[in-house]
Copies of this chain bind each other. A is one copy, B any other.
Amino acid sequence: MSVLIVGSTALDSIKTPKAENPRLLGGSASHAAVAASFFSPVKLVGVVGDDFPKRYLELYNRHKIDLAGLQILPGKTFHWSGEYEVNMNNRRTLLTELGVFETFNPTLPAAYQKSQFVLLANIAPALQHHVLNQMRRPKFVVADTMDLWLNIALPDLLKLLKRLDGFVLNDSEAHQLTKEDNVFAAMKKIHKLGPKYVIIKKGSHGSILSGPKGFFICPAYPLHSVVDPTGAGDSFVGGMMGYLATARGSIDSNIRRGMIYGSVTASFCCEGFGLNRTTKVKRSQIDARVKELEKLTRF
């Protein structure tokens, strides 16, 4: 089955202590869609301006990403610019130009509305609602978010949580949402807000799932150097959703392995600027790292 992914489709200008790369293909939906494409067909919902480079449309096409839901409107593509500190953990936004994204009104093609697996990647909760409103009884809906929406759109986000099967957020966002320092206590509180599956991302420390079958401690793949972590979280959840959309059996019996596949896809994302490394990866390389992670965690 395919995964429907809505989120931002952007141009990212990224500065790290070692290099600077302007106008890379970025945005939560781009990273998630490319990650998911290794495992299942992807239907993309997003908007770009008429300045969007043709080579990026070709990149989506190479990954067989369905672009019927990608609007190309007169105006500028969403442009984000950010800078990472030496340890690559802290970043600051230098510039945000919303462009055509400011008035984005996602309208789903008829063929999209029956999608069973829906990933509401990071985007305003109102838009996540709007997409969900157009869906016909999806099987598994997961949303990601960011601190910005906790700050300026919390009521929308809280309403969204009641409509989700799974919610993915990072540890500082979980703290912001629940006021709990302890991630396990935070997950318990988030379940009460709606989602049956709660996943907290901890960057290089991996991630944790709380679900009907209890906790799962998901490791990050060991990387000796990180080139650019932008999009790693989106790659993680995109890879997981792509895996789940084609895996046989129940969500419960597949979600741990889905997170592992997501974790490995995210590791490749970190090894290059933007999507530079991810787009060069072969499925066999992903499978090899999954096998390595099995060995690295057995005792």
A299 touching B257 in the complex, CB below 8 Å, given contacts A184-B224, A217-B219, A223-B182: yes
Query: What residues on B are CB-neighbors of A68 within 8 Å?
Result: none
Place the interface of chain A in its size category.
35 or more
Query: What residues on B are CB-neighbors of A225 within 8 Å?
Result: 182, 185
Chain B CB within 10 A, most for which of A88, A181, A202? A181
Interchain CB contact under 8 A, B295 and A214: yes
Determine if A67 is an interface residue (Cβ-Cβ < 8 Å). no
Determine if A205 is an interface residue (Cβ-Cβ < 8 Å). yes
CB contacts under 8 Å to B, within A173-216, are 181-185, 188, 202, 204-206, 208, 214-216
Query: What residues on B are CB-neighbors of A86 within 8 Å?
Result: 181
Q: How far is the CA of A297 from the CA of B206 in the complex (A)?
A: 12
Q: How far is the CA of A245 from the CA of B222 in the complex (A)?
A: 29
Query: What residues on B are CB-neighbors of A296 within 8 Å?
Result: 214-217
A181 touching B88 in the complex, CB below 8 Å, given contacts A205-B202, A215-B222: yes
Interchain CB contact under 8 A, A217 and B224: no
Q: How far is the CA of A217 from the CA of B221 in the complex (A)?
A: 10
Query: What residues on B are CB-neighbors of A295 within 8 Å?
Result: 214
Q: How far is the CA of A76 from the CA of B188 in the complex (A)?
A: 46
Interchain CB contact under 8 A, B217 and A222: yes
Q: How far is the CA of A284 from the CA of B18 in the complex (A)?
A: 51
Query: What residues on B are CB-neighbors of A206 within 8 Å?
Result: 205, 217
Determine if A87 is an interface residue (Cβ-Cβ < 8 Å). yes
CB-CB nearest in chain B for A259: B299
Query: What residues on B are CB-neighbors of A24 within 8 Å?
Result: none
A224 touching B188 in the complex, CB below 8 Å, given contacts A87-B181, A205-B202: yes
Q: Distance (Å) between the CB of A245 and the closest chain B CB?
A: 18
Q: How far is the CA of A16 from the CA of B218 in the complex (A)?
A: 30
A256 touching B224 in the complex, CB below 8 Å, given contacts A87-B181, A181-B87, A217-B219: no
30 contacts across the A-B interface (CB closer than 8 A): A86-B181, A87-B181, A88-B181, A89-B181, A182-B224, A182-B225, A182-B226, A183-B204, A184-B223, A184-B224, A185-B224, A188-B224, A205-B205, A205-B206, A208-B222, A214-B295, A214-B296, A215-B222, A215-B296, A216-B296, A216-B297, A216-B299, A217-B219, A217-B222, A218-B299, A219-B219, A219-B297, A256-B298, A256-B299, A257-B299
